[in-house]
Structure 1
Amino acid sequence: MFPKRISLICCVAFLFVTWNAILVLLLLGRSPQGEVQRGGSEKPTGDLVDDVIRIADAFELELKKQKDILNQILKHRPVWGLADRKGPKAVAPSRPVIPILVIACNRVTVRRCVDKLLQHRPSPELHPIIVSQDCGHAETAEAIRSYGDKVTHLRQPDLSDVPVRPEHKKFQGYYKISRHYRWALNQVFKNLSYSSVVVVEDDLEVAPDFFEYFRALQPLLKSDASLWCVSAWNDNGRDGYVDPGRADLLYRTDFFPGLGWMLLRELWEELEPKWPASFWDDWMRQPEQRRGRSCIRPEISRTLTFGRQGVSLGQFYDKYLRYIKLNTEFVPFTKLDLSYLKEAAYRENFEKEVYGAPVVTYEAVKRGQLTGTGPFRLQYSTKDSFKMLARNLGIMDDLKSGVPRTGYRGVVSFFSRGLRVYLAPPPGWSQYDPTWS
């Protein structure tokens, strides 16, 4: 798309030069009234002079129209990466467009989600909001339509039940969600031709620096093949379990968090041909899809879920999700050095910190008897010991394909009574055990 816009500007510029040249030639060709032209030819008739003047006036009017068109084109220059050039060799930085895809169904409370997106959005051009609605729910559709041209409203056309095995009838909602995701992401990447997208669901509220977070991390996602997503969510991000003074702290994680996440077109081209009929998020967490790649996630979440009711029937909501801490401090991520998140450096520094920390007992952590400033390491060695420790310490204890929530190389980081604790496997960890699920 960018070369086409450049060609358009070149064409307009060429027309400017051409029309000005024609005007000059026409005006120079007009002889003053009463003179005889060289070579003895008679002076031009009054009709000819009038014709030339009319042509010149027409060109002048058309020139003004084209100038207005060019000004309109230039108004959109920031969107596709051109900036004012101070010299012939100046190169303008690109400003990628990152749309927000809101997955909606039958919640009129989608307003809360969209209102926060509009409130915190720094630019409508750089962050168009696309609301894709399934279910055909009239009140929800009206709520989305009420935003007018502030959002793009897409409607998933296939509202039929998905054929499933009899024992899966109770999971019909999960099948429809997976179908909707596939359709909506195809719209974004194939029909609208965006190169990346941030996916949120209609029951998420976003933080003030939500857009800043994803803009800063898109270049890293594009350049680091060991990453496959950026998420705004910390599964263990409840108040008291995160460092309130480190809103800028980011992690790599082997667990796919979802709940406000960015992916690239290239990843969708990889996943779409084998997209599952249901339970798409757990499918994403399987080794065949993850392929050893990680996501970026924050210390303090940039999304908060307010949707207790849904197809999951509030699973985990009352115990964990309703207490997730939403960041309120704006962090200028685009101005920070995020190179520490690159794979080689991150792994080395992370393992050095985790396995350089003193080993402590569960009782010491639980009773608040840790001495020192931390961090501390609490070790597990089996699936059962992990689940027992996690459950009793108040962090999420479930595993997907052997990967604990927020885990990186088997390590789960959390805060306990104001101190950093790493729940970690023994030194020498090499891989996850998919049977730990």
Structure 2
Amino acid sequence: MFRKRGSLILCGTFLFITWNAILVLLLWGRPSPSQPGGEHGEVAERPTNDMMGDVLRMADTFEAELEMQKEILMQIKNQQSLWEPSNGNGPKVVVPRQPVIPVLVIACNRVTVRRCLDKLLELRPSAELFPIIVSQDCGNAETAEVIRSYGNQVVHLKQPDLSDIAVRPEHKKFQGYYKISRHYRWALNQVFKTLSHSSVVIVEDDLEVAPDFFEYFQALLPLLKSDRSLWCVSAWNDNGRDGYVDPGKANLLYRTDFFPGLGWMLLREVWEELEPKWPASFWDDWMRQPEQRRNRACIRPEISRSLTFGRKGVSLGQFYDKYLRYIKLNTEFVPFTKLDLSYLKEETYREHFEKEVYSAPVVTYEDVKQGQLKGTGPFRLQYSSKDSFKVLAKNLGVMDDLKSGVPRTGYRGVVSFISRGKRIYLAPPPGWTQYDPTWS
């Protein structure tokens, strides 16, 4: 089809040039009429009526042809944006437009932002498709100089309001969380409102990313846009420590009811919903409340595509020494854009997931802990209350905290992980219907 279109365009151009060349030759080559009886055929002082009529008819034809050729040239111009040469002498090919996905780096006073930026710049496949925007709070001069050193490789934004925030006396120690929330709001408004992007991947200045980080988000953007039961895509697995994930399943993805963060993608439509009610502090836990989540899920990987190296921060290393420092970062490039990811659509995924979980044999904690499971698995370990979940999770080494009743990585109450090489589903009884927000 495109070859035929190209031939038509070339033919139109050729006809335009040829027709006008013929007209010019006709006008120049037409013999001049002579006065009758003239001995030497002298040129007439005035044109005859026949000549005038011929010229007018030719002018009318010429004008009509010009209008037609103008239309052809306009069509050629309109098609030019779709056609680019594949090489210097090769045929024309159609190059489809791909969505631009900016990466927003939230920075403050860590000069180690260099480690984050170096990896992003090393791995990104295209500067045009993945522009890097660094939004800096805190006003730290040394960190600003590090960011500036990258020149036009990144866009450097500076959060203008560095003032302290008025908080209740008992929240004075949480001033940092208030400033982070203010910064997020400002930075996301810059991305979506000022720069007019339609999606964004958000990382913080203490994250390192996997080789297929960009591939992962590029492949999942269409699903995020089309499936309204999703509201984010995350690169992070909260229980993704080495030994708790299947190293042979780097391509395995999940739906989760828990908002993971730590390298995540957001659409402008969702931001327009969240921004008017954005919280003054603790934005990530606010995202995990039922009023914001609205029964929507996120996509997360079996093996994390991000790794945090920032032990020091406003959270004072909470969870870092016990869990986060041991998270396994994926090293295998998975060509997600070439895979069929339709299994992640809500109805298909839920049906398959519940069938796999609740057809798995029920085992005891002792069997799991002592490595006495028979067979390849998976296996189901059942909990019946908040306390039983927390005891089992803690003793098995997975994160035991709940946010608004949702366990980390949980989907319909089920937490999936590897224990001694076997897939375990820590699951509520069959017939689960909803989370209990009092489980926190």
* TM-score normalised by the chain length of structure 1: 0.83
Contact 1:31 1:37 in 2 (8 A): no
- 1:434/1:193 CA distance change after superposition, 3 Å: same
Q: Which amino acid aligns with 1:241?
A: Y
Alignment gaps of 5+ in structure 1: 1-15, 43-69, 79-83
Q: Which residue of 1 aligns with 2:107?
A: 104
- 1:284/1:37 CA distance change after superposition, 3 Å: farther
- 1:158/1:370 CA distance change after superposition, 3 Å: same
- 1:97/1:198 CA distance change after superposition, 3 Å: same
1:325 maps to which of 317, 325, 328? 328
Contact 1:247 1:331 in 2 (8 A): yes
Structure 1 residue 93: deviation in Å?
A: 4.0
2:286 maps to which of 283, 288, 300? 283
- Alignment partner of 1:127 is 2:144: no
- Alignment partner of 1:215 is 2:218: yes
1:408 maps to which of 407, 411, 418? 411
Contact 1:85 1:92 in 2 (8 A): no
* TM-score normalised by the chain length of structure 2: 0.82
- Alignment partner of 1:336 is 2:374: no
- 1:37/1:305 CA distance change after superposition, 3 Å: farther
State how 1:194-343 maps to structure 2 within 5 Å.
194-343=197-346
Structure 1 residue 215: deviation in Å?
A: 0.4
Q: Which amino acid aligns with 1:300?
A: I
Q: Which amino acid aligns with 1:318?
A: D
Q: Which amino acid aligns with 1:198?
A: V
1:175 match: secondary structure: helix
State how 1:6-405 maps to structure 2 within 5 Å.
40=44, 93-405=96-408
1:98 match: secondary structure: coil
Q: Which residue of 2 aligns with 1:433?
A: 436
Whole-angstrom CA distance in 2 between matches of 1:416 and 1:255: 21
CA RMSD of aligned residues (A): 2.9
After superposition, the C-alpha distances for 1:275-310 in whole angstroms (9 at most, x for unaligned) are: 000000000000000000000000000000000000
Contact 1:214 1:262 in 2 (8 A): yes
Structure 1 residue 167: deviation in Å?
A: 1.1
Structure 1 residue 94: deviation in Å?
A: 3.8
2:266 match: secondary structure: strand
Identity rate of aligned residues, in percent?
80
Q: Which amino acid aligns with 2:164?
A: D
- 1:20/1:129 CA distance change after superposition, 3 Å: farther
Q: Which residue of 2 aligns with 1:9?
A: none
Whole-angstrom CA distance in 2 between matches of 1:118 and 1:260: 15
Structure 1 runs, 4 residues or longer, greater than 6 Å off: 23-30, 35-39, 75-78
Contact 2:116 2:206 in 1 (8 A): yes
1:251 match: secondary structure: strand
Alignment gaps of 5+ in structure 2: 1-12, 35-42, 47-76, 86-90
- 1:257/1:37 CA distance change after superposition, 3 Å: farther
